[in-house]
């Protein structure tokens, strides 16, 4: 087998391993996949301004996120249904992340229950919540607290599930129910199980929320609340006014509104609007250490990666996840040396043209 040396190699190897409907589900975006492609293209548009003759002998990627020490400013984004990539699902993924001092946001729609995942991890773990009904969300949040999750990540960009045409053509819903029953229902046992069709699933997955949901969620938990799926300065200001402990700038990996701005394009206005009042994170299209560096330079405190983790998981289980993160960390370190930023704190706006 080819030895993967970068994330693109993992992508190629994962495609060979995964059945077509699973590959398409993991890989795809919505409609014409314009946002999906632009998430990458937008990084390529940014140019770096390297500084030279800086002492970078002890270059170090360590950082801290919500008071937790991490070896790198890179976390695992919440992605659903890891059981379609590996029999042990999210339990395998989080062990890979832990092993390199990263951390994981466990999806509401994971294949394994949050308790099973918690049992095999010691590091940073946050729970990603979809609020589809308040009674269900209340239970999920209580369980997350009891299982030692350290934050709730509320995803707010999914008032409906967008049209993912690859999945429609592949009849992904029926395929998954036959070959991977329970792939999405590790946490939510009763609602997605059984014989619901794709339309019903889409209606269930999408649930309209408004800003007052934050105050409600606050009454349910003392954990920090982080909003995922913010793309404008206006919403970032509202998020701060509603007292959240963090914002994840994200367009859901190009899987929701097609044509939505790339997170890296939205980041500067959001960082300016937030003005240090809460940490800002970013996900979408990160495939290289230089992408991580660009996001940090524009003000992200850390980044999250989605699909590359699924590729690593499919190719090599926890070892694959670990290697994907190690590659990205190594690339980030090289980029930091080459731009003359020996620590994460040194990375500044002036690195971007
Ligand atoms: C996702 N994403 C996602 N987000 C979320 O909040 N809850 C979820 O259950 C999922 N599920 C999911 C499944 C798959 C297969 C993908 C690819 C993505 C979005 C995810 O958290 C993140 O925003 C993107 O994946 C980041 O983009 P990249 O790194 O995949 O380019």
pTM of the model: 0.96
The residue contributing the CA closest to ligand 1 atom 14 is 79
Residue 2 confidence (pLDDT): 79
Residue 195 confidence (pLDDT): 46
Task: Give the distance (Å) from ligand 1 centre to CA of residue 145.
Answer: 23
As a whole number of angstroms, the distance between CA 125 and CA 104 comes to 5
Asked whether residue 149 carries a pLDDT value surpassing 50, the answer given is yes
Q: What is the pLDDT of residues 159-177, one digit of tens each?
A: 999 999 999 999 999 999 9
The residue contributing the CA closest to ligand 1 atom 24 is 253
Residue 194 confidence (pLDDT): 45
Residue 190 confidence (pLDDT): 54
R_g of the chain, CA atoms, integer Å? 19
As a whole number of angstroms, the distance between CA 209 and CA 98 comes to 33
Asked whether residue 25 carries a pLDDT value surpassing 70, the answer given is yes
CB 121 within 8 A of CB 96: no
Q: What is the pLDDT of residues 43-84, one digit of tens each?
A: 999 999 999 999 999 999 999 999 999 999 999 999 999 999
The torsion defined by the Cα of 196, 197, 198 and 203, in degrees rounded to 10, comes to: -50
Beta strands in the chain (DSSP E): 63-65, 68-70, 74-76, 103-106, 124-129, 152-155, 225-230, 246-249, 280-283, 302-305
Ligand 1 pocket test target in 25, 41, 78 with most atoms within 8 Å of CB: 78
As a whole number of angstroms, the distance between CA 176 and CA 32 comes to 23
Confidence band (pLDDT; 50, 70, 90) for 1?
A: low
Q: What is the pLDDT of residues 89-140, one digit of tens each?
A: 999 999 999 999 999 999 999 999 999 999 999 999 999 999 999 999 999 9
Residue 200 confidence (pLDDT): 56
> What ligand 1 atom has the least distance to the C-alpha of 27?
17
Q: Decide: 79 in ligand 1 pocket, CB within 6 A.
A: yes
Mean pLDDT to the nearest integer, 242-269: 98
DSSP code, position 105:
E
Residue 203 confidence (pLDDT): 57
Which pair of tokens denotes residue 197? 């069709």
As a whole number of angstroms, the distance between CA 35 and CA 50 comes to 29
Mean pLDDT to the nearest integer, 194-206: 55
Which pair of tokens denotes residue 228? 């995922």
As a whole number of angstroms, the distance between CA 258 and CA 111 comes to 27
Task: Give the distance (Å) from ligand 1 centre to CA of residue 26.
Answer: 8
Residue 330 confidence (pLDDT): 98
CB neighbourhood size of 69 (10 A): 11
CA contacts within 13 A on the Cβ side of 305: 31
The residue contributing the CA closest to ligand 1 atom 25 is 306
- Which residues fall within 8 angstroms of residue 329, CB to CB, at 6 or more apart? 61, 71, 72, 74, 100, 289
Percent of the chain with pLDDT over 70: 95
Whole-Å CA distances, 234 to 196, 237, 239, 269, 277: 37, 5, 9, 9, 14
* Backbone torsions φ then ψ of 208, nearest 5 degrees: -75, 130
Residue 25 vs residue 208, higher pLDDT = 25
> What ligand 1 atom has the least distance to the C-alpha of 40?
31
Task: Give the distance (Å) from ligand 1 centre to CA of residue 5.
Answer: 23
Residue 193 confidence (pLDDT): 46
Ligand 1 pocket test target in 25, 77, 85, 161 with most atoms within 8 Å of CB: 77
CB 90 within 8 A of CB 82: yes
Tell me, what's the ipTM? 0.99
CB 176 within 8 A of CB 185: no
Mean pLDDT to the nearest integer, 195-201: 55
Distant-in-sequence contacts of 320-324, Cβ < 8 A, 24+ apart: 320/10, 320/96, 321/76, 321/92, 321/93, 321/95, 321/96, 321/97, 322/96, 322/97, 322/99, 322/100, 323/4, 323/10, 324/7, 324/10, 324/96
Q: What is the pLDDT of residues 287-322, one digit of tens each?
A: 999 999 999 999 999 999 999 999 999 999 999 999
Residue 207 vs residue 289, higher pLDDT = 289
């Amino acid at each position: 087998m080819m030895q993967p040396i970068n994330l693109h190699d993992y992508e190629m190897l994962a495609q060979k391993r995964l059945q077509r409907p699973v590959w398409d589900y993991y890989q795809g975006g919505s409609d014409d996949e314009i946002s999906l492609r632009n998430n990458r293209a937008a990084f390529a548009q940014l140019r770096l301004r390297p500084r030279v003759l800086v002492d970078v002998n002890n270059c170090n990627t360590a950082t801290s996120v919500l008071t937790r020490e991490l070896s790198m400013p890179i976390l695992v984004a919440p992605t659903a249904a890891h059981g379609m990539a590996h029999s042990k699902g999210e339990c395998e993924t989080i062990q890979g992340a832990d092993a390199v001092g990263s951390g994981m946001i466990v999806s509401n729609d994971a294949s394994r229950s949050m308790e099973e995942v918690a049992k095999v991890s010691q590091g940073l773990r946050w729970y990603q919540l979809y609020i589809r009904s308040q009674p269900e969300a209340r239970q999920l949040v209580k369980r997350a607290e009891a299982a030692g999750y350290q934050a709730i990540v509320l995803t707010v960009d999914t008032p409906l599930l967008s049209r993912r045409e690859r999945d429609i053509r592949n009849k992904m819903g029926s395929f998954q129910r036959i070959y991977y029953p329970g792939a999405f229902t590790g946490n939510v046992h009763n609602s997605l199980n059984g014989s619901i069709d794709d339309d019903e699933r889409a209606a269930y997955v999408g649930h309209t929320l408004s800003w007052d949901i934050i105050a409600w969620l606050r009454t349910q938990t003392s954990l920090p609340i982080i909003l995922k799926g913010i793309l404008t300065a206006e919403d970032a200001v509202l998020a701060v006014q509603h007292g959240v402990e963090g914002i994840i700038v994200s367009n859901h990996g190009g899987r929701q509104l097609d044509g939505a701005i790339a997170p890296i394009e939205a980041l500067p206005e959001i960082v300016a609007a937030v003005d240090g009042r809460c940490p800002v994170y970013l996900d979408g299209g990160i495939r290289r250490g230089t992408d991580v560096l660009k996001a940090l330079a524009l003000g992200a405190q850390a980044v999250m990666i989605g699909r590359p983790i699924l590729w690593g998981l499919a190719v090599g289980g926890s070892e694959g996840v670990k290697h994907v993160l190690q590659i990205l960390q190594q690339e980030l370190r090289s980029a930091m040396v080459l731009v003359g930023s020996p620590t994460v704190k040194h990375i500044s706006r002036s690195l971007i043209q």
